[in-house]
Structures are given as structure tokens and as C-alpha cells.
Structure 1
């Protein structure tokens, strides 16, 4: 199956008796070089090679910071459950304590627990563009979750799914996983320029993360940065005017 046109429709259900923040941890859908092996990343092994899409239901980072009595600022806060994607090259680790934030390509909030209607996730990879959509509101309408260009995934990898509960518990039901080979029309020039992808990667990865949650500034942070910069300029201008007037007054006194 060629990764130039792949689609995966996931019908799932997450439910349990745990109340808010007393459930976990989530499920994952995989397209990886390695076959499934038990491990700490939503039930699969760490340092995987390929794509992982995670439905994370427990905010480990928030609870970790609370335990250390450190302030959890709105700039870094994400609302859980949260869907995110990660591309691994075999040497990247998933940071469990930070909910995968350092390696996250993008994501969205998805309130999927204990719903009475069906919940769906659709993963689409066409022309090196990764798109994830969700249908969780019972309206039979897809909503965009993330759209990342420049994703490079090799052919011939394995699809799979896994889940993990940890110290807390939840039921993770995988009702169906339907795979599609999407038709992609390419020109003769595009076929000639097509290169074989050997290692999963993402173009401009650092720019993507700087524009997102890891290391980037939110709109509020940018606003205050610009505001304080302008105030600083006005303050320097006012000081300059005062010094100029003082110098002019002294010059007139020496002249007379």
C-alpha cells in the first residue's frame, strides 16, 4: 500500500466510571516500521519509527507541575482529552510526563469520554500532507484537528492500535479500523521527481513546533511583548525630551 494516498477511519469509544481527571490514559493508532510490542507509549514501545496518533485522556504534565507546586500557566495549558500526532525516526522518545509536548506536531481538544453517540477519528496522508479529522459531536460532520505539510512516511509499514491505563482506569473500545488506499493523480514530472523515503521525517519541524505549543508564544504573550516594547520606546523618548530641554535651558543661561 503506497503512503502517497493512505486513509484510516477509526471508530472507537472511551468510557469508564472515573470522574474528571480520574481516568486514563488513552489510546493510539500507529503506522510504524516495527510490529506492535508492549511498552509505555499508550501500550506500544518507545523510540518507534513511523507515525503515532494519540487520544490522550489524562493531563500528566499538569498533575506533575501541581505535585511540584509549580504554576501551570494558561500559555502552556491544553484541555484534555487531547488528540495529537508524532512522527518518530527511531531515536525520538515520547515524553510521558509532558504528554508528548516536545515531539508534538499538532493537535486538538476532543471531549470523547462517556458519550452516548459514536466517535470517529480519520487519518489522511496524501502528497506528504498529514490531516486528522474528528467526528465526536454526534452530528455526522468531520471537524479539522490538524493539518501538517511536509510529512514523509516510507512505504510498507504496519498499521496497529493500542491503549494503556496506568494507575487509573478506563475502557478503550476499538470498534473498527478501516484502511483505505486513496487515489492520487500525479503528473509524469512528479513521478520522475519522486524520491524513495527511507526514514520518517517532517519538513521545517522546528518552525512547526515554534509556531505551536512547544517554545512558541501565544497571542497574549505576543501582545504584552509588543505593548511593553512600545512603552519602553515612549519612556526613552520622554527621557530624551527632558534631557534636551535641560541642555537647551543651560545653554541659554551661559549665552546670557
Structure 2
């Protein structure tokens, strides 16, 4: 008993240590050198600060068009310098629009050790990459009706992407989401922290920036350190406009990394503030120049009273949109809570499995950047639970249908029996079919011949073989008993035939 209490106390202590380790604070830092956003995304010379683009990509002040809606177009944009942090989060806002019912080919986010090509074979970038690719595939190459699709593919520099199957045999994880021709820009948040890759998706149906849903989460994802960020897109026989509005990068640090990390010096802070002030002055000058060059477009806001009032139709439409937005917010909160509950359950199962393995003498290994984490396998996943619920519901529906069928058969049987009771006198005197009597007579004759043959064989058979009785007297059946059994069987068959004939006659009368 004391040994059991000691093991339980050790397990509880280890569980507390794991919970404390997993609930550590995450510090975030915006990385402007690995980001771009409007306005003035591109400079006057067409360049994007800290980024390089090529192929058919076009940069403007509001967005970067990686591939225009023309056939066989490819383009990409890459960071000039590799990143100098281990964990990161990237927020991408993009729009994929086209006149066709389906589009092609798609857009891809890259994290690779080397910058890819601007006109490559894989969505505008190079094949056999070393790192991660999060692909937004628009075209259904394998004709399985599973596109548009978002998937993550990890490559070590040796694998060739399988276009025919849309990478179905190579993907790490994915989800089926539609990101074409949405009223608002779609967004994707890609997070890589502690060797766990998480992708959230904004479907572009609302303007709420917090309207994200979980696409997939993958653990034990080991990526090389010091890679480059990139975006690429390509078109084929069908074509869409692939526009990226912004890409915002945030570095993630744990409490230990933040305490031992590098701090921004005062000189660098002063330099950044000076650059910000210069950009503000340049913006004000350009605004003033625009007002001077376009005086007709500047109108008096104080005298325009139409902007202060709304019609009945506009008010009703606004109220409808507000009600739909509130319903969508409630559904989003419910979805988040369900995801949180499922995530907590999965984490609890993982920690309990880890505690059990540690109690068996396996030491726990701390997670280091670039090192693969051996997480315990979960007993059941969310998709397994959904499949179990669906099977249970199918079984319940089948049982209900079977019950209804049995009730219907019982009702018809009761009706037939009631009809038979009402017309019992007429049915008793019904004549039996002559053909049935002939068949019954032939069957009786065949049985008699068979019985006679068997009796003759039994009579002619020797009674002793090697001075041993062939059939002991107590276990052998006499000929008279056999005839009695045959007669009983014939009587039963005759009665059953009469009953069946009567039931058919009653059924014909009933219907």
C-alpha cells in the first residue's frame, strides 16, 4: 500500500511539473524586416523593402500580385535575409479571384533553407525544397472533388512533389476550405512553436479580423534553422489573380529564451524612431501634393448632409448584417470553446501517457530548437471520435427502421388472422386445388418406394460380420416404428399444405 501511494505521489509531482512547463508565457515580437503591408508596400522604384520578387509577380502600393489571371503565369517573392529566431508566427492576408467556376493553380507559403526559383514547377517555386510548404491548392488534379484544399508538405530536399495526386501521399496534414472569390480578403495564420505546426484559417465571409478557425495541428514537425520566408503562385489552363495584401511575421520566445535573449539597444531604438518620423513626414507631403494636384476631388464634408442620414432600406440591410454578424460571433465562440476543450483533453492524455512512461523508468527529454520531440501517441483522436458517433447514429437509425418493419409485419399478420376468423366457415369448405393433390400423391408414392427399398436392403443385409452383430438390438429401429414416423411426417406435411392453401385463399379475399 505504501509503495502504491509513493508511485501516485511521484506521478502527481511529474504531472505538475509538465503542466507548469507547458503553461509558460509566450513573448511575441513583431519582425518588420520579414514583413510587408500596405500602404506604400512597394517603393517608387517598384522594390519591396527587405524582399525580392521575380517572375510574373507585380508589386504595387496595396498588394503583391504573384500571378495574374493569364495562362501559364508564375511568380514569387522571398526574404533577402534568413530569419534569426527559432519559433515564429506568420499572418497572411490574400485574395484569389477569378471568373471561372474553378481556378488554378494556387498559392504557397514557403519556409526553406534556400530561396526557391521565381518560375518553378511547384506553384511557382522550386521542387525538392528543404523545409516547409503550406499550399493553397485550387485545382483538382486527381479528380476526387477535394479542392480547394489547404495542406502542409515537409521535404528534406530529395522528394519530388506529386502533382497528379495533389500531394495526397506526401502531405503532413490539411483541411478542405474554400478561399476563392470571397467578399472579404481571406487570411491564414501559420504558427510554428516548440516543433508544433498549427494553421488557422479566415474564410473571408466577414470583416472580423478575429474570425479564425482551426485548420489543422501537427506535432513533431522538425524544420531546419535559419530559413527564408517566401510566397509563390502559379496558373495553368485556368487562371486566377493571386494577390497578397500583407505578410506579418512575429517571433515567439518562451520565458527562458526571453530572459537570455538579446535586447534592443538605445541606438537601434533611436534609429527606428527616426525612420518612423521620416516616413510620417513623407506621407504628409505626399498627401498634400495629392490635394494640390486633384482639387476637384476634395469636397466639403460639412456641407454634405447625405452622409449623415440613411434610408429605410439601408437601415434594414444594416440591421440584417448586424444580426448575422452577432450570430456568427456566437458560433465562432462556441467553436473556439469546443476546440479548447478538445485540445485540453488531448494535452491531458499526452501528459498522462508521458507520466506513465516516465514512471516506468524512461527519463523526460527537454525540447530544444531543431530537435524532434517524441510525443506519446493518443488513444483516440477527434476524427476517430466523429467516426464513432456517426456509426452509432447509423446503427440507431437502422434499428428504428427494423423496428418499424417488424411492427408493420405484425399489423398485417393480425389483419390477416382477423379476416380469416370472420370468414372461417366459407374457408373451411373451400376445395383443394387438384394439381396440389396430384403433387402430394406423387410425393407420397416416392416416399413409399424409398421406404420399401430401405426395408428390403435391411432385410437382405447380413446380421453378423466376423461373429459380431451388425446392429445391436437396443439401438436399431424397427420397421414398424419407421413407418409410424413416416406416416406422422406425411400427416404434418398434409396439414401444412392445407393451412398454406387456406392462408392464400384468405389473403386473396382480404386484398
TM-score normalised to structure 1 length: 0.68
User: Comparing both structures, which one devotes a greater share of its residues to strand?
Assistant: 1
Residue deviations 1:224-256, cap 9 Å, x none? xxx9xxxxxxxxxxxxxxxxxxxxxxxxxx955
How large is the Cα RMSD of the aligned pairs?
A: 3.3
User: Comparing both structures, which one devotes a greater share of its residues to helix?
Assistant: 2
Tell me which residue corresponds to 1:172.
Answer: 242
Tell me which residue corresponds to 1:48.
Answer: 129
Contact 1:87 1:202 in 2 (8 A): no
Q: Return the alpha-carbon distance in structure 1 between the equivalents of residues 475 and 256 of structure 2.
A: 83
Contact 1:3 1:126 in 2 (8 A): no
Q: Return the alpha-carbon distance in structure 1 between the equivalents of residues 201 and 219 of structure 2.
A: 18
Residue deviations 1:37-90, cap 9 Å, x none? 13111011111000000000111011xxxxxxxxxxxxxx45321100011100
Stretch of structure 1 that moved more, 103-112 or 43-52 = 103-112
Tell me which residue corresponds to 1:30.
Answer: 110
- What's the offset of the Cα at 1:197? 3.3
- What's the offset of the Cα at 1:194? 5.2
1:11 aligns with 2:184: no
Mark the runs of 5 or more structure 2 residues left unpaired by the alignment: 1-82, 260-364, 396-473, 477-511
Tell me which residue corresponds to 1:95.
Answer: 162
Q: Return the alpha-carbon distance in structure 2 between the equivalents of residues 202 and 41 of structure 1.
A: 29
Q: Return the alpha-carbon distance in structure 2 between the equivalents of residues 146 and 3 of structure 1.
A: 23
* Aligned counterparts, 1:190-209, within 5 A: 193=366, 195=368, 197=370
Tell me which residue corresponds to 1:120.
Answer: 187
Q: Return the alpha-carbon distance in structure 2 between the equivalents of residues 45 and 184 of structure 1.
A: 33
Assess, with a 3 A threshold, how the Cα gap between structure 1 residues 128 and 162 changes in structure 2: closer, same or farther.
Answer: same
TM-score normalised to structure 2 length: 0.35
* Aligned counterparts, 1:219-238, within 5 A: 219=387
Mark the runs of 5 or more structure 1 residues left unpaired by the alignment: 63-76, 212-217, 228-253
Contact 1:154 1:196 in 2 (8 A): no
Contact 1:57 1:81 in 2 (8 A): yes
Residue deviations 1:11-55, cap 9 Å, x none? 000001112x3x201000000011121311101111100000000
Could you say what secondary structure the match of 2:142 adopts? helix
Tell me which residue corresponds to 2:178.
Answer: 111
Q: Return the alpha-carbon distance in structure 2 between the equivalents of residues 124 and 131 of structure 1.
A: 5
- What's the offset of the Cα at 1:219? 4.5
Q: Choose from 150, 160, 169 the match for 2:230.
A: 160
- Where relative contact order (Cα < 8 A, 6+ residues apart) is larger, the structure is 1
Contact 1:130 1:147 in 2 (8 A): yes
Contact 1:129 1:150 in 2 (8 A): yes
Residue deviations 1:88-130, cap 9 Å, x none? 1001121111111111111112211111112100000000000
- What's the offset of the Cα at 1:184? 1.9
Q: Return the alpha-carbon distance in structure 1 between the equivalents of residues 227 and 180 of structure 2.
A: 30
Tell me which residue corresponds to 2:480.
Answer: none
Assess, with a 3 A threshold, how the Cα gap between structure 1 residues 196 and 219 changes in structure 2: closer, same or farther.
Answer: closer
1:61 aligns with 2:61: no
Assess, with a 3 A threshold, how the Cα gap between structure 1 residues 145 and 203 changes in structure 2: closer, same or farther.
Answer: farther
Stretch of structure 1 that moved more, 29-38 or 123-132 = 29-38
Contact 2:98 2:241 in 1 (8 A): yes
